Amino acid sequence: MKMKIWDLPTRLYHWLQAGLFIGLISTGYNGEGPHIQLGLGLFTLITWRIIWGFIGSDTSRFKQFIRSPKVIMQYLRGQTDETTGHNPAGGWMVVSLLLCLFLQCISGLVIAGFTDNLPQAETWLTDRSYDVFYMIHNALFYVLPALIFVHVAAVIGYKLRHKPLVLAMITGYKAKCGAVSLRFSSNLKALLVLIVAVLVTMTIVAYS
């Protein structure tokens, strides 16, 4: 018997993020193509996902899958029950990827000059801070593929254990585990949050 785990907005975010990341990493390596445009798209998506992580469906909320190191160790030792959404280790992988991608987008916005005209920019956007953002952008250029590799390896590992995480992220359903009742937010709510995220990006671009 299967149950719904992932809402449509979370699933769309996941695959759109994957597509944009592939485009960004390829254009970043060869220095050609719409790297900045893809970055703005990813920034919008991440802004959307961060907000959704506080007001979205149960399995999309950070409070549902962020667990203490103790719980993570218990999970890795097989001492905890199966979870309905992200498991404790996977939850921190989600947070790590979101944080790194967000920092990569912010540093990219600074490097591309989108923050030059923001209020009080002259007080914090110095040559030294610019160099720091540039170093962050370069460092994450190598850190992010490593995190993606670990993520994909974990997904393959779960597949070998007959736990198809990819299929669940496509359909939204997976095998039921326990008597769990989940609350799902509406797609309209997600659309409104996406509009807010788009407006944030447009505001940054308009100020640049």
Structure confidence by residue, pLDDT tens digits, 84-116: 888 888 889 999 999 999 999 999 999 998 988
Query: What pLDDT sits at residue 178?
Result: 60
pTM of this structure: 0.89
Structure confidence by residue, pLDDT tens digits, 26-65: 887 665 679 999 999 999 999 999 999 999 999 999 998 8
Residue 130 pLDDT greater than 60, yes or no: yes
CB 21 within 8 A of CB 148: yes
**2-30+37-207: CATH topology:** Fumarate Reductase Cytochrome B subunit (1.20.950)
The CA-based dihedral angle spanning residues 139, 149, 69, 185, taken in that order and rounded to the nearest 10 degrees = 100
Question: Could you tell me what percent of the chain has a pLDDT over 70?
Answer: 96
